[in-house]
Amino acid sequence: MAQLTFNMAVMQFLADHRNVLLTKFFLLASFVGQVEGYILVVTLIYVMFDKTLAVRLAVLLLLTMCLNHVLKIIIKNPRPFIHEGTYLQKWAVSTEDVKALATEYSTPSGHAMAGSAFYSYLYAAIENRFVAVIAVIAILSIGFSRPYLGVHYPGDVLIGWVIGLPLALVAIKRADQISDGWNKLSYKQQVAITVASSLILWLATIAINGWRIDGQPRALLGYAGFLTGIALARPIELSTVNFDPRSSKPLAKMLRFAISVAMVLVALLLLDKAFRAIADDFSVLGYMLQYIRYTIAGVVSIFVAPLLFTKIRLAETITVGPAEAASGLNLAL
- The DSSP letter of residue 79 is P
CB atoms under 10 Å from CB of 318, counted, come to 15
Q: How many residues does the chain have?
A: 333
Report pTM.
Answer: 0.91
* CB-side neighbour CA atoms (13 Å) of 91: 24
Q: Decide if 232 contacts 191 (C-beta within 8 A).
A: yes
Q: How far apart are CA 190 and CA 193, in angstroms?
A: 5
pLDDT digits (tens, 9 = 90+) for 162-199: 999 999 999 999 999 999 999 999 999 999 999 999 99
Domain ranges of the chain: 8-178, 185-333
Taking the C-alpha atoms of 247, 251, 254 and 258 in order, what is their torsion angle to the nearest 10 degrees? -120
115 exposure class (CB count in 10 Å sphere: 0-12, 13-18, 19+):
buried
**pLDDT one-digit tens code per residue, 121-168:** 999 999 889 999 999 999 999 999 999 999 999 999 999 999 999 999
Is residue 10 within 8 Å of 157, Cβ to Cβ? no
Instruction: Kindly state the average pLDDT of the residues 316-332.
Output: 57
